[in-house]
Amino acid sequence: MGDNLKVSVLQFKSELGNVDKNFDTARRLLDGAKNSDVAILPELWTTGYYPTPIENFADMDGKQTAEFLCAAAVKNNVNIIGGSTIAAVDGQIFNRCIVANRHGEIAATYDKTHLFSYADEGKVFTAGNKFVTVELDGVKCGIAICYDLRFPEFIRKLALIGIEILFIPAAWSLKRLMPRQILTKARAIENQIFVVFANSAGKSEIVNPLGEVIVEASTDEEILTADVDLKFRAEVISSMNLLADRNIFVD
């Protein structure tokens, strides 16, 4: 494992319900990220957020998405955080992130835990119930999806089990941009991790463990790329180790 991971955020606004076109866009952007170590897609990139009736747009067992991601990962020699898609599994529908490693293997799957009641997600999706980490090129990473960001105890649990980078695919409205920008910084600072936020609506960003924005996207389609310096994270922790200084009685 090196001290840096080259990370690319593939930001684009999907066309609602046009699955074929959205796959074509993702394919093109993934081809553009072939020199990266990790690429991340936004939330519900295959369909947009979100067409109804949702069951008509569900990927059965996530098979189509998984095959696409594995093939793209091998073609471009890149690990892919597969955003999220609508996955139908045993009669239930999940907002699911599939992670493919650069060898074309499914390395992890994560189902969105906190469903956004404002958009009635709980009426159409089943909530996930597992914390998910994945090791990519020797780096332990955590996965959250959009609304999960608002729940600090959820992200803290991922930090306590050792993640160095948190990847968050999202479809976060720019009407709520200010709180989101605060939340990504807060989660990075309090857990001393990198936060990579991939947003379909724009303003994606990568934030370092001091809460500093390394790079930020516009609101247009974009490949946003930066080096994640893991040595820098180690230096931050060595000067002030927040998790080590937690007073255990609060548990």
Q: Which residues are catalytic?
A: 43, 112, 146
How many Cβ atoms sit within 10 Å of the Cβ of residue 245?
A: 7
Q: How far is CA 78 from CA 6, 73, 222, 236, in A?
A: 10, 5, 18, 28
Helix axes 19-32 and 63-76, enclosed angle (nearest 10): 20
Q: Are 43 and 171 in contact (CB under 8 A)?
A: yes
Burial class (CB in 10 A: 0-12, 13-18, 19+), 44: buried
**Tokens read off for 141:** 């990473």
Residues shown for the chain: 251
Q: Residue 61: what are its φ and ψ, rounded to 5°?
A: 60, 15
Nearest to 7 by CA among 156, 142, 197: 197
> Cα(68)–Cα(58) distance, rounded to whole angstroms?
15
Residue 30 DSSP SS3? helix
**Tokens read off for 55:** 């069951």
Residue 157 DSSP SS3? helix
